[in-house]
Amino acid sequence: MNENDTGELKPTSQSGQASHLEQAPTVRSLSELIDRVTGRGFQPPQTAEPAGLAETLPFPFLALVGQREMKLALMLALINPAVGGVLLIGPRGTGKTTAVRSLVDLLPSVPRSLCYYGCLPEDVEHGGIDAVCPDCARKYALGEPLAKNDPVRLVELPLNACLDDVIGSLDERAVLHDRMRLRRGLLNQADRNLLYVDEVNLLDEEVVDALLDAAAQGSYTVRRGPLAASYWSRFVLIGSMNPEEGHLRPQIMDRFGLRVVVHGLEAAEERLEAYRRVQAFGMSPRRVVADYFLETQLARDEIQAAREILPNVSLPEDVAHLGLGLTSRLKLDSLRAEITLFEAARAYAAADARDAVHPSDLQVVAPMALRLRRSEYIKEYFNHQQAEENELAAALQEIIGP
C-alpha cells in the first residue's frame, strides 16, 4: 500500500490484470473495500474449465455476497489475534465455512520459529535468554536468526479428531526404530496460525477441554509414558456452529471473542448475485479468482499494514470509559467482554490507519464483541444468591445489631 498526498490508500500492484480497480483505484479502509466489492456487479464467465480445480482453489473471500459483519469479524481477528477468535453461529448454507476457508488468500505473514520447540526472538525480548531452548540461546547470542517470516496457515480441526491427534502422541515410526519420540499434535501445528473448528458444538468433550486449556495458556504439555514435552499453541480460534444441532457449553462460548450471528441473505437481488457467483465459480474457478485478484491482494496488504500499525494504536481513557459503560449497562460479568471490545476497536482503528480508537470504532465492533455473553443461569444464580445475602444481613442486624 502507498499513501498518496490526499491520505488515501491505493494498490501498489500495477499489473496488467483487467479489473474494476482501474475504474476506482482508491480505497480508504477495509470496511470500505468490503462494501465496494460486495456491491459490485459480476460478469459470469462464458466458458467452463476442466473439472477438478474447484477443490484446490478457495472461493475468493471478497466475492462472498453480503455478510458484512462476518467478513469484518474475520478480518479483525487476522489483524489482532488478541480479539480472542471468532464464532460464527447460523444455519447451514449461509457461507460460514466458505468464508473461513477463503481467508487463506488474505493471511498475513508472521515470524515463524526455526526450532522444534518453537522459540522466537520475542520470547527472549519478553522473558530473557532462559525463555528459549539452549540451542536457540546460543544462536541468539551469535546473532543468528531464530525465525523466518512465513504466511499464517489455516489449520482445520476435523470433528472426528481424537485427543491424540489434537495434543500429539508417541511417534509410531520412531518406535519402529527403537526410539521414543512424541509426534506434534494439531494444537501445536496451529501455533501462530488460525485453528478452524467447524461444528464446534459437536466436538468431543475431552478435545474441547484440551483445546480450551491450550488456547488459554498459549502452550500445553503432553505426557506419554516416560516422555513429556511442552508445545506452543498460540492460535486464533475460529469456530462455526449451527444452533439447531446442539448448544455450545458456556465455557467454550466465553472463549470466543467475536460472535457473529449469520443469517441467510434476504434480498432477492443478493440471493441471485450469490447464485451467479457460486455458479460461475463452479464453471471456472480460476476466472473468478482472477476477477477478484487485485482486490484480494489489496485486502491482504491492508491487513498486513494494519498489523504493523496495531502496536501503536492507543485506547484513550474517555473512549475506554464509554466501553466500560456499555459492559456495565449490559451487566456482563466476563472480563473478556471488555478485552475483546477494546482489542477489536484497536484493530478496526488500525485498519483505518489511525493511531487512536474513536467512539465510532466501538460502535462498529460492540455488537460482535458483546452479544451472546449473558447467561440466564448466572443471572438466576446471582438473584438467588442476593436473596440469601439479604436474609443474612437482616439476621445479623436483628440479632447482633447495627
Residues contributing to the site for Zn ion (CB under 5 A): 115, 117, 119, 133, 136
- In whole angstroms, the minimum distance from the beta carbon of 120 to Zn ion comes to 9
Runs of H (alpha helix) within 154-292: 163-167, 172-176, 186-189, 205-217, 250-253, 268-283, 285-291
The cell for 329 is 449497562
Nearer to Zn ion, 136 or 262 (CB): 136
Query: Which stretches does DSSP call E strand in 205-360?
Result: 219-224, 227-232, 236-241, 258-261
- In whole angstroms, the minimum distance from the beta carbon of 115 to Zn ion comes to 3
Q: Is the dihedral of CA 39, 242, 345, 76 positive or negative?
A: negative
Helical pair 30-39 and 68-79, crossing angle rounded to 10 deg = 150
- In whole angstroms, the minimum distance from the beta carbon of 159 to Zn ion comes to 33
Provide the 3-class DSSP secondary structure of residue 96: helix
Judge residue 346's burial from the number of C-beta atoms within 10 Å of its C-beta, 0-12 exposed, 13-18 middle, 19 or more buried. Answer: buried
Nearer to Zn ion, 229 or 265 (CB): 229
Nearer to Zn ion, 107 or 147 (CB): 147
Nearer to Zn ion, 9 or 136 (CB): 136
The answer to whether the CB of 202 falls within 8 A of the CB of 159 is yes
The cell for 400 is 447482633
Nearer to Zn ion, 136 or 238 (CB): 136
- In whole angstroms, the minimum distance from the beta carbon of 119 to Zn ion comes to 3
Query: Which stretches does DSSP call E strand in 242-379?
Result: 258-261
The answer to whether the CB of 90 falls within 8 A of the CB of 96 is yes
- In whole angstroms, the minimum distance from the beta carbon of 37 to Zn ion comes to 42
The answer to whether the CB of 14 falls within 8 A of the CB of 242 is no
- In whole angstroms, the minimum distance from the beta carbon of 235 to Zn ion comes to 19
- 336, 354, 371, 374: the catalytic one is 336
Pairwise CA distance, residues 73 & 163, whole Å: 29
The answer to whether the CB of 76 falls within 8 A of the CB of 344 is yes
Number of residues in the chain: 402
Catalytic residue at 336?
Answer: yes
Q: Which residues are catalytic?
A: 336
